[in-house]
Structure 1
């Protein structure tokens, strides 16, 4: 079992491997020396199918956030699964483009952006399951009113059967870390428990998930169904079990690459220059073209951009093969970007801001 300890430099929670007495922080690079205490409970609570973060040391709730945390902070993940049967081409490009957008368009401090890609030289910034989990903890640590958070993931997504009855379609959505074949996937219940539920009043989180089966990847209570004409309605996805999937008063809005039963394309047909995720490219394109005034205008622009290039996207052969490999299911339909939120709102009057 792993345990959490606070970094001696920036107070970021670090997950200590069994038996280790030192650990280096991926954020400030300080080395923390500790004596491992007893292991905490596992992520999956005994006798349930609910994921919860393990209990944290009392010092985790430090009265002030670490110095690297500004009013804006982001976790950006791009995984190409290089030299494997699941290889993608454009996900690291997506991550770099997203970082450029956040820094130059939305004034995110570079030191408050945590990048996880296969190109990172720091072993704690490689997008393994362990490192992605720790990055999610880092994102919400010390969050308070006025903070703006971004979680971006570009890579493989999948599904697995849900047996608790809290999914409308009977499946949990999952993110695939670099080492998912050995360590397993990250389930939407855990993502919700880690970065959605703790969000306090006055704080906001935007998630941008460019992956297959990503429509409800954050398990948010409401999904926006939008027709080609632009008409929309909010679909209620609150679990029949009564489990709470919202926040602690904060606001969470998610853009995702496709519906839960669809695959997302990794293509060069949109940029015409290099491979990118169709969803990430269309989102950035909408913002750069001045179509990012409201959430409705962004979603319409994304859908139009992908629809107009649909004949070139091809559904994504690698992503489709992965879907069949992991779920045993069939290949999904064309991708339609989705919008979900913890509370419904008027998508054409609410201004978009990060």
Structure 2
């Protein structure tokens, strides 16, 4: 078996006279934004429809608003077992302002997230929150936007730095810009001087056990989600990403060898319009990419350097019309003599519109004993990806009804 393999399980010739009826149908459905399986999806359990195991755990329950903690029981992938603020008090954000960085006003999101005890943070109403500077979270917090329409926008983003046990669910993050820095409180007991922030939507810096689920992120000054400096135990799921260039950076530098311990699951997400590259870009570590829908990229989808392990299973990759961007993978940061030994494998992925995945390294023989099997999401057939990711992004949840 060749060390480097080109995988193209399903190709599409843009000349409609030359494609099969099957692929014509698939492409037409993608363009119209309605997959066949989506159209035929049956409603059940009081009007609720679910399409992946995370959602199946909680979405069809009518009591989600009175039993919010149940969400924490539904985490999967490498963030499995994260509890966030489960068991703590429910903190209701009533004030969308962010005027005082040293003594945040009670009722604001910043005041909630710097508290030392576990908190489950919800919102009294829909609101737009413009953060004056990055919001540095304390451990054991859940941000739960269900039942409201919450946007963190046109200001700084969220920072998960050297903390653990975080859930971020059901919010929109967009148009994030750099912050000038200055004196910022990061807990009730500490504040300090911060340099200029990068402009990430969510920055995970030495953080662990972080679950990001059903969020929408777009158009940030730097990355949509960055995980660096030894961050691990992360799941990014059920989310919708659009309109960004360098989207996800997992491992920031070859010098940061602590990222060899990084484990990240990327599952059930929709990578949509206006994305260019880094979906994600990985240094070191292990990334499991499972049942995602890649409908847009302009340069490449998955890139990396410094010998990361990337296992891609059950994803759909639809290449752009640009003839120079058909390859899903990018390893131009290293010579082939180096990267041919990196384990990048594609299993059961669907490749459309000429997309192809260049495999390398030894064949994947399953998850070894170094992984807890329960932390691995089993891939469904890639033909179901349109259904699996149908509800990616924040949900329109209403109390006393299934989401």
Structure 1-normalised TM-score? Answer: 0.29
Higher Rg = 2
- Which structure is higher in helix share? 1
More strand as a share of residues: 2
- The normalised TM-score by structure 2 is 0.27
